[in-house]
């Protein structure tokens, strides 16, 4: 099965190289690129498009890194808060229960008999 994956990857790579070569050969016309800071000397259309694609990918990558780091910091904060809350629950579980009915709020104690409140 590995050889089939490798063969498929080589075929896809070959197709991409062929399509890229065809695109570059069909778009050889030189153009002057104007941007905010100035004008570049004439370059082939395919090179200008490739540079624009690369700049766009870099901007999207930078935004993705920022968002992922923000999500990672938020996740870390939530994990720390969860650890604190789990420790608190563990401490509450280890507290001794009171044997007195007076410690139960009055509205809860009305519906319970003394055996239920005392645990037996």
Residues of the chain with pLDDT > 90, as a percent, come to 52
Antiparallel, parallel or unpaired: β 43-44 and 30-31: antiparallel
Per-residue pLDDT tens digits for 23-62: 888 888 999 988 888 888 899 998 999 999 999 999 999 9
Tokens representing 104? 């139960």
**Largest Cα–Cα separation, the chain:** 95
Q: Which of 33, 69, 71 minimizes the C-alpha distance to 51?
A: 33
The three-state secondary structure class of 31 is strand
Say what the pLDDT of residue 109 is. Answer: 57
Task: Give the integer Cα–Cα distance in Å for 99 and 62.
Answer: 61
Q: Is the pLDDT of residue 104 over 70?
A: no
**In the predicted model, what is the mean pLDDT of the chain?**
85
Q: Per-residue pLDDT averaged across 68-95, rounded?
A: 93
How much is the pTM?
0.57
């Amino acid at each position: 099965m590995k050889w089939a994956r490798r063969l498929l990857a080589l075929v896809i790579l070959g197709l991409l190289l062929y399509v890229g070569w065809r695109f570059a050969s069909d778009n050889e016309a030189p153009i002057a690129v104007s941007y905010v800071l100035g004008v570049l000397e004439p370059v082939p259309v395919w090179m200008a498009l490739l540079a624009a694609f690369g700049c766009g990918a870099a901007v999207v990558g930078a935004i993705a890194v920022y968002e992922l780091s923000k999500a990672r910091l938020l996740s870390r904060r939530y994990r720390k808060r969860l650890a604190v809350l789990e420790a608190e629950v563990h401490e509450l579980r280890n507290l001794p229960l009171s044997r007195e009915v007076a410690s139960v709020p009055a509205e809860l104690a009305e519906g319970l008999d003394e055996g239920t409140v005392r645990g037996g």
